[in-house]
């Protein structure tokens, strides 16, 4: 699932996260179907750490949920305006 770093949504996500360098990881997601079937560029992100995800006793710290909510608020606000 390759996406250009020059398109506006990618720039906005990186700006909100103060991210100058992102990483690609190998995980399953339906995001690739949006690109493959509909040619819609897709960004997949979420709260928490992959170190605690998708295993017995997985969890997301409350602070990470709050941080994720603030990120989504900023992203939606940026995309609308």
Query: Mind listing the pLDDT tens digit for each residue in 5-25?
Result: 777 778 888 888 887 666 677
DSSP string for residues in 36-54: HHH--------SS-GGGSS
59: tokens are 């969890």
Q: Give per-residue pLDDT as tens, 22-81.
A: 667 777 788 888 888 998 888 888 888 888 888 899 999 999 999 999 999 998 998 887
Residues 6+ apart with CB under 8 A from 61: 48
What confidence score (pLDDT) does residue 20 get?
Answer: 64
């Amino acid at each position: 699932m390759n996406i250009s770093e020059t398109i506006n949504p990618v720039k906005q996500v990186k700006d909100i996260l103060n991210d100058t360098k992102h990483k690609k990881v190998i995980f399953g997601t339906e995001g690739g179907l949006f690109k493959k079937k509909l040619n819609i560029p897709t960004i997949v992100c979420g709260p928490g750490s992959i170190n605690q995800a998708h295993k017995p006793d997985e969890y997301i710290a409350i602070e990470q949920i709050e941080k994720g909510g603030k990120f989504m608020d900023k992203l939606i606000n940026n995309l609308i305006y």
